[in-house]
Amino acid sequence: MDERKLVEKLKQGDENAFKTIVEAWQQMVYNTASGIVQNAEDAEDVTQEVFVKVYESIGSFKGDSKLSTWLYRITVTKALDHIRKKKTKKRFGIMQSLFGTGNEEAVEKPDFYHPGVKLDNKEKAAVLFKAMNHLPENQKIAFTLNKVEGLSYQEISEVMKTTVPAVESLLHRAKSNLRKWLEKHYENK
């Protein structure tokens, strides 16, 4: 079914249209969220939040961009919101432990494995994803959309609502920052 017809049916409340959208884009949304939040359970939560948002706000989708571009925007926003909420909870937990109300031990999360990475590259990918956590937010998003999701610079500019030269700059800085972090990481091994 053509994308415009699918969107129109969903705007009319057609549950089958919603099911079709979820089935068609669920993996893309999950992979993008996973690349940003770097935790399988969090990525599942973000994926659910994205499709709830799609269902609730499909009326605001004007069709100026492709549906996938709109979904990427929602996914990036929801993933970043999720990270911010976790950081807030973590800060609150630290405050609790300082004042003696929380006695749980801090556990470092295990290495993250993205579902799209081949088995023989899992260890290298885990180090790369760890390095990506050190990137500024916009660089991390641009890098994830380009290198993990395979989007073109033009598509990334549409998702991030910026220019192609800005995306090129973000990716250049991201690669430079990753190179520096990885050099330090491997020097210390």
pLDDT digits (tens, 9 = 90+) for 94-149: 544 444 444 443 333 445 555 555 555 667 777 888 889 899 999 999 999 998 88
Q: Which domains does the chain have, with CATH numbers?
A: 1-109 (1.10.1740.10), 111-189 (1.10.10.10)
The residue-averaged pLDDT of 148-159 equals 93
Q: What is the pLDDT of residue 186?
A: 84
What is the model's pTM? 0.74
pLDDT band at 90 (very low <50, low <70, confident <90, very high): low
The residue-averaged pLDDT of 7-12 equals 94
22-62 pLDDT tens trace: 999 999 999 999 999 989 999 999 999 999 999 999 999 98
Whether residue 155 is predicted with pLDDT greater than 60 in this model: the reply is yes
77-87 pLDDT tens trace: 999 999 988 87
Candidates 180, 168, 114, 179; CA nearest to 139 is 168
Whether residue 152 is predicted with pLDDT greater than 80 in this model: the reply is yes
Question: Could you tell me what percent of the chain has a pLDDT over 70?
Answer: 80
Q: What is the CA radius of gyration of the chain?
A: 19
